[in-house]
Amino acid sequence: MELTGIESRVVLVTGAAQGIGAAVAEILAGAGAHVAAVDRNAEGLATVVAKLEAEGGVARGYPVDVCDSEAVDALVGRIEDEQGPIGILVNAAGVLHTGRVVELSDRQWNETFSVNAGGVFNVSRAVARRMIPRRFGAIVTVASNAAGVPRTEMAAYAASKAASAQFTRCLGLELSDHGIRCNIVSPGSTDTPMLRSMLGEDADAGQVIEGTPAAYRVGIPLRKLAQPRDVAEAVAYLVSDQAGHVTMHDLYVDGGAALHV
């Protein structure tokens, strides 16, 4: 199925320097979108933008910390001045701090929420304010299946992703009168730098696939890790015309690991 409604749209993608965000930028640029790639990692962002341009895509990089609401407001204005009205927003920026609750520091907890929940709020608010008068737009937040399934040593991450998912549903309800759709994609274990940093250098992906009963974690029924492109394809569907009657939906892309919670 060919997706429509993406070509020539200005798309803001956060967390675009690596992992799922980079894959989303690549998929949407390949579909003809004009990508505004956002990340606080300026070096990684430049690499991604150069790759997209080399492949014939239209992309510009904007190094910004999504935790800074004033910088985000200015950024959204700048993107619209330079590239035109933002028609699609994908919130893919995220950080992960693991550890048992009693061992988590204030800094780890606060940073996790500042990026994973606060960043989604800052960027979504700034973009929605501009979408409302135009009565058009699509917003997708990349959350996690951990938002719906308890995970040991992932309390901060899981709670922040649950917050971002519920925020996006509420936003979708508020914006529905204006014809703006808001949806969520919830990946499971995906082969990204974030997952590799969590598992450590000596970890075996096979253990993730098999599950860890001692940690009350089931494996992946499809017997494989997701690739960033798997998640990006789901995002692309939800921002396309083919999902024109879909809003406030949470699409799990986890190989069945959440057992359809």
The CA-CA-CA angle for residues 223, 157, 247, to 5°, reads 75
Domain assignment present for residue 165? The answer is: yes
Tell me which residue has tokens 């190094």. Answer: 63
Whole-angstrom distance, CA of residue 18 vs CA of residue 20? 7
Domain assignment present for residue 50? The answer is: yes
Range of the domain at 54: 10-253
Domain assignment present for residue 1? The answer is: no
Domain assignment present for residue 72? The answer is: yes
Domain assignment present for residue 92? The answer is: yes
Dump the DSSP string for 130-156: HHHHHT-EEEEEE--GGGTS--TT-HH
Total domain count for the chain?
A: 1
Of the candidates 9, 8, 3, 240, the residue with the CA atom closest to the CA atom of residue 131: 9
pLDDT for 198 equals 64
pLDDT for 216 equals 80
pLDDT, tens only, 76-134? 999 999 999 999 999 999 999 999 999 999 999 999 999 999 999 999 999 999 999 99
To the query of whether residue 157 is one of the catalytic residues in this protein, the response is yes
Domain assignment present for residue 4? The answer is: no
pLDDT above 90 covers what percent of the chain? 84
Whole-angstrom distance, CA of residue 28 vs CA of residue 40? 20
Domain assignment present for residue 3? The answer is: no
pLDDT for 201 equals 58
Identify the active-site residue in 157, 216, 237, 252. 157
CATH of the domain at 15: 3.40.50.720
Domain assignment present for residue 108? The answer is: yes
